[in-house]
Amino acid sequence: MSGLPQLVHGVLSYGVMALGMGLVLRGVRLFCAEPLEWNWVALIVAVPLALAGYFSVVDPSLRARLSVSGFYFGALCWLCAATLLRHADWRGVGISALGFAMLGLALCARGAYLVLYPLPPPGQGALLLDASLLATALAQVCVAFGMVMMVTRRYAVQLRRLSTLDPLTGALNRSALEQQGGRIAARTLHGGRSLSVVMIDADHFKQINDTHGHPVGDEVLRHLTRLLRLELRPLDLLARYGGEEFVLVLDGINLAEAGGVAERLRDKVAQALVAIDGHAIRYTVSVGVVCSDEHGYDLLRLIAVGDAAMYAAKRAGRNQVVCL
């Protein structure tokens, strides 16, 4: 029993600290979409346990135990900082990364001091050791505050994403189309470029739902979205306007060029086969195309005229492209 306090203080306490650091590192890597397996966490715990056990039982040395643990835990802190900076937006993780870096520096400086100089007498702390304790406390505050900011920022991004995207297809929703499309319209007007709007509607979509069920209909919409995305350039927009109706906003493309894009899309859809749950579905689309050269840069007006062109394509027999 007499050896129990030394065992707890000299060995197990390092295992508890290592477990904490291992869990922190695992959490950081999960946040960065880079999972850390539990066997690595176990290894992180086992290393300081072995080192502390050696310098407590086999070759007792408080100075060696403190210095080695300082370097070890400092390296883990730097690994956390490097993971954040390597895999995440630095503006969202900067404070936490700085905190981990400061904490690692303080721990390594403490370890280096203990290697170079003897332990000070009890009650007479060395200046570097006192400074390292202060830096450690400040760094822990930075880490804690930064992690709160990281999680808050992540949730804000997710909420913003949910508020702008259609949950079924991942395309922009109608409100996001009006906001972002309005900016594109202003940008093209200012730059003197053409702006084209392509309205796409899946033909006989209600019949697909009634015949094959809504899950098949949902897969048709997702399939159509994937085909539409293939035509997008970095400055273009894709939105689900409602039901089975989609909108492409094309920056810098005139009516003839947009008509070519629409015809290529129509042909791809007509030749595609959607396979789901034993069903093999073919479908077509009707497409309306308009351009700012003929109708101005007001996005809502372009959408309205494009909608009329799309319904003209339906009246013409569907699986058509009409340009106005």
Give the C-alpha separation, 298 to 305, whole Å.
11
For residue 121, what is the DSSP state? P
Q: What is the DSSP letter of 122?
A: T
CA 191-193-195 angle, to 5 degrees, is 120
Catalytic residues: 244
174 vs 183: CA distance, rounded Å: 14
Q: Which two tokens stand for residue 144?
A: 């804690």
Q: How far apart are CA 241 and CA 104, in angstroms?
A: 52
Whole-angstrom distance, CA of residue 85 vs CA of residue 98 = 10
Cβ(237)–Cβ(195) below 8 Å: no
In whole angstroms, give the CA distance from residue 87 to residue 77. 16
Q: Cα angle vertex 237, ends 90, 293, to 5°?
A: 135
Instruction: Map residue 246 onto helix, strand or coil.
Output: strand
Closest CA to 307 of 213, 143, 133, 177: 177
Distance of CA 89 to the CA centre of its chain: 9
